[in-house]
A = this chain, B = another copy of it.
Amino acid sequence: MNQDSILRSLIAENLVSDPASARGRLLHEAARLFRDKGYERTTVRDLAAAVGIQSGSLFHHFRTKEDILKAVMVETIRLNTALMQAAMEAATTHRDKLQALIRAELESINGQTGEAMAVLVFEWRSLSEASQAYVLELRDIYEQLWLDVLDALRKDGVLAAEPFVVRRLLTGALSWTVTWYRPDGGLTLDDLTEQVVAMMGLTRAEN
């Protein structure tokens, strides 16, 4: 399954919005605005203007402004969990599975869904507690993928640190790339992936 067919099947199951639909376009613009200006600094008038309607008309599609933020986050997690799963299943060795996960997460942070992923990282506190709990549940599925691979590497004797700590350190390291990585800066995503693997001392030759 390639990325496009994964997206299409999620749309068919109504788990994410079609980017071509009114709702999908709004969520895309919202992600962009929330990333650029922050959730609080983005007004419903900004959101409405971005899709060419009046501010009041937004509330025909979403009950509250926060619902829009929640939808951005939920749909992003759903899509990326599916993409991760596919990327990992395509690899064979534990080391390659880890590299695939790193590569996939870098892609989700710096590629098409980058705006939404940045929102997920930096606008977390703007979600109500109830919504936070819901999103956290979705994230657990996603996190288990990582822990399984890191546990295996640990048992192989390739990884010296605790898997759950490593995952959290990696979460930070990879999320943070959104603040500095630019695809046109002479470093491809593949290069960056290799740098991460190299920093961990997991060079290809050894394993």
Partner of A198 from the list B40, B161, B172, B198 (CB cut-off 8 Å) is: B161
Complex: A195 Cα to B150 Cα, angstroms: 14
Residue of B nearest to A175 (CB): B172
Q: Which stretch (A45-53, A90-98, A162-170) binds chain B?
A: A162-170
> What string of 1s and 0s marks CB contacts (under 8 Å) between A193-207 and chain B?
001101111110000
Chain B residues with Cβ below 8 Å from A201 are 160, 200-202
A62 within 8 A of B: no
Chain B residues with Cβ below 8 Å from A125 are 37-38, 41, 122
Q: Separation in Å of the A189 CB from the closest CB of chain B?
A: 13
A203 adjacent to B172 (CB under 8 Å): no
Partner of A40 from the list B40, B199, B200, B203 (CB cut-off 8 Å) is: B40
Residues of A in contact, count (CB < 8 Å): 35
Chain B residues with Cβ below 8 Å from A192 are 165
Complex: A15 Cα to B195 Cα, angstroms: 38
A44 within 8 A of B: no
A177 within 8 A of B: yes
Q: Separation in Å of the A102 CB from the closest CB of chain B?
A: 11
